[in-house]
Structure 1
Amino acid sequence: MHFEQANRATGRLVTTGEVGASGASDSELTTGRFDGQDGHGGEDGHGGKGGQGGQGGQDGRGDQPWFELWNVQQGLWLQHQLGESRADSNLPLWQHLHETLDLAAFRKAVSFLVDRHQALRLSFQDTADGPRQRVLPVHDLDVPLVDLTGLADPEAEVDRLIRIESATPFDDLGSPPVRVKIYRLASDHHCVFVNVHHIIADGTSMGILLRELLLCHRAFAAGEEPPLAPLPKTFEAFVQDRQQWLSGTQSKSMETYWLDQLAAPLPRLRIGDYEAPADDVVNETLEFWVEADITEGLGALAKELHVTLHILLLSAFVVALRDISSDDDIVVCVPFFGRDTKDLDGMVGNFVNPLSVRMKMSGSDAFDDVVRRARSASIGSYANSRYPFTRLLEQVDAEARPGRNPVFSSAFQFTRFLPPAKQTSQLDLCLYGRPDGERIKLRFNYNSRRLAESEIREVQSCFQAVLRRILGDAAISLDSLSEPLRQARRTMRAAPRDGRRLGRLRGSRSTTPDA
């Protein structure tokens, strides 16, 4: 089974869990956990530990209390209240099923999952104490069937309807922001469409939701109960645990770590038109591949340096940004999914958290030293990833600019899938990559109001030039890389755009006389 459309895998910005031992390899960082370190159990709505009631439901019935929003939910609520790009907060996902569909069983499956996952029953409201959320005791979600069998081209029509549905915002968060539809194209061909607001789910949640929806449908259609184990914790218990955790010593230690890592002055990524209006965002994409021979060489080099491809590619990206921005200090967001305890693995909810990797370099640094530094910085970031970014922003000494993230302007992610091509981001530049057979597929998502395509191609050419050079000599100094990267940039430079020549806003670096 495959996704016809990849869900919005990373949402805005994401993170991961703790690294227990300093000697952990960076490949182990993705499975870092806080399990056993919380000191708080996850009580369900019945007052028990991890129990469920009803048909797999998470909480008891009756009046439910309002509770605080967690971390990125706060920013998403603010965006919604301001009316900023509301459709951009949608997480649409659909799946074509080439089989008959039992409509009653499917609707029963939807009801089962709404009851099972608290996040699918969340209601939001502004109160005197600030924005709050609560879990509705019951939510009857309508699941309409749209019959397209009488049309000459039902597949074209379902594509058109999905585009419309995907772009339709959730105007009212007072009701759970969830939509499910079934499109019938033939008696043995259906398309299941699910759309939720990002405030209640992340990309991992969408995969969970679709998988469980299809599993439950087939179980109910066969007259059986779904083979799903009860969830060990509720979303409300998760939020309460994290709020309590914030008052503990581990939280204070992580806060100290981040304030040290993000100590002023924080660098600006000075590429493109940095002074463009911050609220003017038009996202475009540029895709490219690392060919098989280079990919094979990078894999061998990563093993030699005892790092993953993620760390190696991140290092190359940071070096390219250093060269093109003329700044020795670079901060990059590295998205990760933030489910740092096992009891969150199967839960629908939004657990994302921005994770920063700050790299300070000089021309005398060897590339393999940069790789080791990137690995060390990543380990430190992952080990302190539970501390909420929204809370950190209240304390970090950074220049506040409306519509801009004050900590970083770029992001990097290498994982098993790419986010949707038109995913909207307030960041200037995001580089996403994934394995693609014997090659590596990469995509730049960028704000074309601040960066011209020619400038993105300049970054691309620098990045690829770094990859080629390090295969010949991983210990090459950054100073020695300067001329090859300068030559690579020249091949991509284009005419001025709006009277602004490429590099006009680049700063100067004393260690590079002709920068």
Structure 2
Amino acid sequence: MGTAHFPASIGQRLVWFLEHYRSETSSVNCPATFRISGRLSEDLLRGALADLVRRHDALRTTLSRDGRNLLQHVHDDRGGRAALSVVDVSGGEEEMRALLRAEQAAGLDPGREPVRTSWWRLGREDHVVCVNMHHLVSDAWSCGIVIADLIALLGGRRPDAPPWQYSDFTTWQAGQEKSGKLRAHQDFWCEQLDGMRLAPLPWLAPEGSPRPSPGLETLSLSAETAGGLREFSQRRRHTLFSVLLALYYLLLNHETGQDDLAVASFFANRTRREVTSTVGFFANMLVLRAKVDPDRPFADLLGTTRRTVLDATTHQAVPCQMLPMSRLQRTPGRVNEVVFQMLPDRKPGSWSPIDSGTGLRIGTFRPDHGLSRFGLNLTVIPREDRFDVRLSYDRNQLDREWVRGLLRSYRVLAEGMLAAPDAPAAKLTAALR
């Protein structure tokens, strides 16, 4: 079969350029991590991994430059390309978490090793498996696919093959780009973002002065608040994403006094159903711009946010890096300085470990740490019994106590909005003084 060669996608070209020519490490590792209890045999794990790699071309893809072009090289599956590192862990949970942190921080070379798998054996029936993928061949949605597929394969089930491989998508996308069909999306974003200003956060140092130092602060919204937000979004016919983003806009308006706000976020960019179960780098960063009037009811801001998100969903094929941002912005800086993300709201039962049918109990493993790639990144993670809220930031750019206060204020706003959802926005933020 040999190796097949395809042009890189728009997203891959942008990330490669940012990483190699602007020293902006926008691409990080995308790990899919499992906690497995039971007698896990090496033959079963290696066989499941081989099937996984065989199923998804992206997991067998390396990238390289050919002159000015970036190419994908899809290798055949003979011999397997996802090497497995097996480590017996004698130091228990603490050592395992240290190994996981080190693995996630260690670089992956997309030109040689886009995927690396580690198996940490804490005991005969206690295992952690991490499938670590370079961002150029994976994204958050893809991690979910890898998790679902590997759980099925370890249980002796073979998922249906995806209708498209990533190379099918990139070929289709190249046709869209060549035919000019992406121009309408670019025109929309240029009109939408013209004159935008970045939020004037209390930066400690000029942008890019010291090397980024990742920081992370966390808290949880209670089961009562999480349930209230879910019920509110359903009753008002808004997505949970829009409700949580609107609260972030309101908080930023209170902190900065600026009513015209731009927040970056990632969209899946899987508008074709053929790629729903395809592993690859599809996600695009978009800039969501909205105006806040503190004298108007929160419902007005929510309506504005809803329209912003719907428009972004329609035009998500073009990432913000393809736009002439220096011409559109009124203020200097990077559009990814302020970011909002929300992980998918999973069904309650999906948080519980699954019995594979082969004597294994398999659950996903979420580490207790995070890395900051942006100036300020608010991430909401819906859980079965709460919402986890994480605020990652650059410690060289923002003061830790200010970040902690911002996180607490977000919780106060969420609770206050549920108590008085039709109150003026200014009344909600008055509780923050």
Write the deviation string for residues 377-434 of structure 1: whole angstroms up to 9, x where unpaired: 1111111112233322578523796xx5336523242643798664334422222223
2:339 corresponds to: 410
Conserved in 2, the CA contact under 8 Å of 1:400 and 1:406?
no
TM-score by length of 1: 0.71
Tell me if 1:198 matches 2:114.
Answer: no
> Equivalent residue for 2:399?
452
Q: What is the alpha-carbon distance in structure 1 between the residues aligned to residue 385 and residue 186 of structure 2?
A: 41
CA distance 1:156–1:431, change in 2 (3 Å) = closer
Amino acid at match of 2:12: Q
Say if 1:262 and 1:396, in contact at 8 Å, map to a contact too.
no
Greater Cα offset, 440-449 or 368-377: 440-449
Structure number with the higher helix fraction is 2
Separation in 1 of the partners of 2:205 and 2:309? 30
CA drift of 1:325 comes to: 0.5
C-alpha contact 1:183 1:192 (8 A) present in aligned 2:
yes
**Aligned residue number for residue 392 of structure 1:** 323
Q: State the match for 2:37 in structure 1.
A: 98
SS of residue matched to 2:200: coil
Change in CA separation of 1:101 and 1:84 when aligned onto 2, cut-off 3 Å? farther
Give runs of aligned pairs for residues 76-155 of structure 1, distance below 5 A. 76-81=15-20, 89-138=28-77, 140=79, 141=81, 143-144=83-84, 146=86, 148=88, 151=90, 153=91, 155=93
SS in 2 for 1:357: strand
Amino acid at match of 1:64: A
Q: Which residue of 2 aligns with 1:27?
A: none
Deviations 1:141-174 (CA, angstroms, capped at 9, x unpaired): 364463528x4x455544443333333212x432
2:91 matched to 1:162?
A: no
C-alpha distance in 1, partners of 2:26/2:318?
A: 28
Distance 1:108 1:400, change over 3 A: farther
CA distance in 1: counterparts of 2:325 and 2:260, whole angstroms: 22
Aligned partner of residue 92 in structure 1, secondary structure: strand
Amino acid at match of 2:316: S
Q: Tell me, yes or no, if structure 1 residue 424 matches structure 2 residue 371.
A: yes
Q: Which consecutive unaligned segments of at least 5 residues does structure 1 have? A: 1-60, 220-225, 490-515
CA shift in 2, pair 1:394/1:364, >3 Å: closer
Cα displacement string for residues 246-277 of structure 1 (whole angstroms, at most 9, x for unaligned residues): 2446522222211111112x212111116533
Contact 1:123–1:135 (CA under 8 A) maintained in structure 2: yes
Query: What do you get for the CA RMSD once the two structures are aligned?
Result: 3.2
| TM-superposed deviation, 1:322 | 0.7
- Shift of the 216–245 alpha-carbon distance from structure 1 to 2, 3 Å rule, reads same
- 1:256 corresponds to which of 162, 175, 187: 187
Q: Secondary structure at the match of 1:199?
A: helix
Moved more, 157-166 or 255-264: 157-166
More strand by share: 2
Identify the match of residue 267 of structure 1 among 187, 191, 197.
197
1:190-269 matched pairs, under 5 angstroms:
190-219=127-156, 226-248=157-179, 250-264=181-195, 266-269=196-199
Partner of 2:206: 276
TM-score by length of 2: 0.83
Give the conservation status (yes or no) of the 8 Å contact 1:110–1:213: yes
- Tell me the distance in 2 between the aligned counterparts of 1:109 and 1:156: 28
Hey, what's the Cα distance between the residues in 1 that align with 2:50 and 2:384? 39
Unmatched runs of 5 consecutive residues or more in structure 2: 347-364
Q: Does the 8 Å contact 1:93/1:206 carry over to 2?
A: yes
**Which letter maps to 1:366?**
P
Q: Assess, with a 3 A threshold, how the Cα gap between structure 1 residues 428 and 419 changes in structure 2: closer, same or farther.
A: farther
**d(CA) in 2 for partners of 1:405, 1:344:** 30
Report how many aligned residue pairs link the two structures: 413
TM-aligned CA distance change 1:173 to 1:299, over 3 Å: closer
Change beyond 3 A, Cα 1:135–1:254: same
Q: Which region of structure 1 is more displaced relative to structure 2, 230-239 or 362-371?
A: 362-371
Shift in CA distance, 442/237, structure 1 to aligned 2, threshold 3 Å: same
1:174-222 CA-partner distances (Å, limit 9, x unpaired):
2241112333444444432321211111122223224323433443xxx
- Label 1:294 to 1:176 Cα distance change in 2 as closer, same or farther (>3 A): closer
Q: For residue 497 of structure 1, what is the aligned residue in structure 2?
A: none
Q: Aligned in 2, Cα 1:330/1:196: closer, same or farther, shift over 3 Å?
A: same
Q: Secondary structure of the residue that 1:331 maps to in structure 2?
A: strand
Larger radius of gyration: 1
Q: Are the counterparts in 1 of residues 19 and 27 from structure 2 also a CA contact under 8 Å?
A: no
Question: Retained in 1: the 8 A contact 2:337–2:376?
Answer: no
Q: Distance in 1 between matches of 2:60 and 2:254?
A: 49
